[in-house]
Amino acid sequence: MKDRQKDRLLWGDEVEYMMVSLDHTNRRARLSQRAHEVLALLQVDETEQLERAKRTGEKPDLEALWRPEFGRYMIEGTPGQPYRSTVNDLVNVEASMKRRTMKVLLTITSYPVLGSGDFLEPPHKANGTFSRSLFLPDEVINPHPRFRTLAANIRERRGAKVAINMPIFHDVNTPKPFIDPTIPYERDVFPGDKEAKEGAALPDHIYMDAMGFGMGCCCLQITMQAPNVNQARRLYDQLAVVGAVMMTLSASSPIFRGYLADVDCRWNTIAAARGEIPLAKDRFVIPKSRYGTIDTFLGSDDGHFKSEYNDLELVYDREIYAYLLTQGIDDLLARHIAHLFIRDPLVIFEELLHQDDSVSADHFENIQSTNWQNVRFKPPPPNSPIGWRVEFRPLEIQLTDYENAAFSVFMILLARALLAYDINLYIPVTRMDINMQRAHNRDAVLNEKFFFRRNVLATGEPESAQDADEIAEMSANEILNGSDSFVGLVPIVLMYLDTVTLDAQVKSKIQEYVAFIQGRANGSIMTGATWIRNFVRTHPEYKFDSVVSPEVNYDLMVALNEILLGAAGAASVASDVSH
């Protein structure tokens, strides 16, 4: 596939949804366990059309594709086919999302009371053998064996339960130190029940002991096709760098397991599902999680990559690496692939064990799809018309279609601008990791600084080579909107838009989206996280003790639902949510 050229800039989004059941009598909002039943209904059209296609050769024309997710209360929806590659087509994104949302509704990144009290319908006790969690019954997991096995295998490989600790938001009445009284420290059902008491649960933190807390979050992902492999490699590297600041702009998860957190983003809940103690029999000691920022840049033919940017000592499979070199794969790409293969597969189905690797990429996809990183390099599947793609994965899902469309459209325009101009965004991989951690912090969009390259347009004439490579710490506002000493990503996007002929209606819609991103960055439009946090802190029943009660959660879900229902007719949702 290395010589594929001129593939179109097709792209598509993935939106993840939660099914919430509202019990108005008791003022409870509970996660429904019936997503897979609804999924079966949503997929009827697809199944029928695919069958017809087989019989008649007629091409399927689907409104949306629906897929299972880790949570039994979750569903993923994508457009029926990728969006076309013209900028004018961007105007169709929001409508596509709206059609999907009308069917499934809530787009919440982290369900506020997941694992707290009576949060599931029908109710179940937390005593399942797959997760062995003190808080999450196995019934939150999709009943397909893949997902339960995933949960059990991650726990078994670690040799202990997952230990996720998100810092608590200390409100005026929150005890200091905060020792969570709702943890059943004395439970004695499974080995590992004592871990919480023996140090896994940190003081001043919200402790979570199952990967379901991370995998049970929803996000917005965007996959884009590049014209050829080199352009895909450029995009991969550049999008990895902007991941942290874009996640900050999209922040929408300020509550975990019934407590207000001192963070606004979900990312770390899943990054914590890593093995901390390397097993002696393992071939590799792996310092980072399967879920994290990328560990190595791919480089491309644009000449901007320098080896010092890959400043993390990379663990990779030497044999695979050496083999790939003999196949004509270059050093950086070979390292990337050999690095993916330091992980063992998490789940393998016996019936799928024997594959003909010359026609099926299943084994590769199995490894690839359990390396959950901020960007993913998606090579063309064998024997398919699909080209080289890059997936952008750090965004939190937004509360409305308007916002999800705005983020998606902005990312597509940014990607196109990055490809159209000779832009250099490289910073060392380890700086990118620091950015990602900072991006979590409460109100990071207003208060944090991120490492970013000052001279990104290669056309400038910096005084010296060193100036050319200067890395500064900048706020989200500076990075997006620019400053005296930095051009800004939004101006780059606007510069690109000036070169494109647009229908008037499309132009005004796109300008609206770009203005929305500008507003998020300069703080004039608050994040979903801030909106939710404010909702809780101004709720008459909130006791300023960080606790999000089931009643407050119910009112929050009702409010979100009303915004969405209102949004179905009105286009100005973002301002409802944000002001």
* By the rule CB under 6 A, 554 interacts with ligand ADP: no
Pairing of strands 74-79, 64-68: antiparallel
Question: How many other β-carbons are positioned within 10 Å of the β-carbon of residue 461?
Answer: 7
525: its two tokens: 């439009």
Cβ–Cβ under 8 Å, residues 117 and 137:
no
CB of 386 to ligand ADP, least distance (A): 4
Would you say 412 and 421 are in contact if contact means Cβ atoms under 8 Å apart?
Answer: no
The pairing of strands 120-121 and 28-32 is parallel
| Residue 465: φ, ψ to 5° | -60, -35
Please name the amino acid found at residue 177.
P
**Residue numbers 481-540 binding Mg ion by CB under 5 A:** none
373 binds, among ligand ADP, Mg ion, none (CB under 5 to 8 A by kind): none
Q: If contact means CB under 5 to 8 A according to the sort of partner, which of Mg ion, ligand ADP, none does residue 79 touch?
A: ligand ADP
Count CB-CB contacts under 10 A for residue 30: 25
Considering the rule CB under 6 A, would residue 377 count as an interface residue with ligand ADP?
Answer: no
Identity of residue 78: T
Angle between helix 229-249 and helix 504-522 axes, rounded to 10 deg:
60
- Spatial separation of the C-alpha atoms in residues 344 and 342, rounded to whole Å: 7
Exactly one of 33, 131, 225, 231 binds ligand ADP (CB under 6 A); which one? 225
Is residue 223 a contact residue for ligand ADP (CB under 6 A)?
yes
How many binding residues for ligand ADP (CB under 6 A)? 16
Looking at the Cβ atoms of 67 and 99, the one nearer to ligand ADP is 67
Which of 360, 522 has the CB closer to ligand ADP?
360
Contacts with Mg ion, 50-79, as mask; x by CB under 5 A = --------------------------x---
Residue 221 or residue 289: which is nearer to Mg ion going by CB?
Answer: 221
371 binds ligand ADP (CB under 6 A): no
Which of Mg ion, ligand ADP, none does residue 82 bind (CB under 5 to 8 Å by kind)? ligand ADP
For 134, 178, 224, 322, 511, the CA distances from 329, given in Å and listed in that order, are: 47, 53, 23, 10, 42
C-alpha to C-alpha distance for 134 and 112, rounded to whole angstroms: 17
- Give the span between the Cα atoms of 345 and 371, in whole angstroms: 10
Binding-site member from 14, 69, 401, 478 for ligand ADP (CB under 6 A): 14
Among Mg ion, ligand ADP, none, the one that 12 touches (CB under a kind-dependent 5 to 8 A) is ligand ADP
**Cα separations (Å) of 163 from 156, 206, 211, 379?**
13, 10, 9, 33
CB 38 within 8 A of CB 260: no
User: Any contact of residue 386 with ligand ADP (CB under 6 A)?
Assistant: yes
Region binding Mg ion by CB under 5 A among candidate stretches 85-93, 156-164, 167-175, 214-222: 214-222
Burial 16-27 (b: 16+ CB within 10 A, else e): bbbbbbeeeeeb
Residue number, nearest CB to ligand ADP: 12
Per 3-state DSSP, the chain is made up of helix, strand and coil in percentages (nearest 5) of 40, 15, 45
224 binds ligand ADP (CB under 6 A): yes
389 binds ligand ADP per the rule CB under 6 A: yes
224 binds, among Mg ion, ligand ADP, none (CB under 5 to 8 A by kind): ligand ADP
Q: Name which of 142 and 553 has its Cβ closer to Mg ion.
A: 142
Q: Is there binding between residue 166 and ligand ADP (CB under 6 A)? A: no
Q: Using CB under 6 A, which residues numbered 84 to 143 contact ligand ADP?
A: none
Rounded CA separation 51/63 (Å): 16
Among 109, 110, 174, 221, binds Mg ion (CB under 5 A): 221
Q: Which long-range contacts (CB under 8 A, 24 or more apart) does 124-128 make?
A: 127/189
Task: Indicate the residue among 18 and 164 with the shorter CB distance to ligand ADP.
Answer: 18
Q: In 239-374, at which residue ranges do the beta strands (DSSP E only) sit?
A: 255-256, 259-260
Determine which residue in the list 68, 71, 77, 79 makes contact with ligand ADP, applying CB under 6 A: 79
Task: Specify the stretch interacting with ligand ADP by CB under 6 A; choose among 10-18, 24-32, 286-294, 404-412.
Answer: 10-18
Query: Interface mask (CB under 5 A) for Mg ion, residues 4-43, using x and -?
Result: ----------x-----------------------------
115 binds, among ligand ADP, Mg ion, none (CB under 5 to 8 A by kind): none
Among 82, 254, 299, 519, which residue sits at the site for ligand ADP (rule: CB under 6 A)?
A: 82
Footprint of Mg ion (CB under 5 A): 14, 76, 221
- Binding footprint of ligand ADP on the chain (CB under 6 A): 10-14, 67, 78-79, 82, 221, 223-225, 386, 389, 391
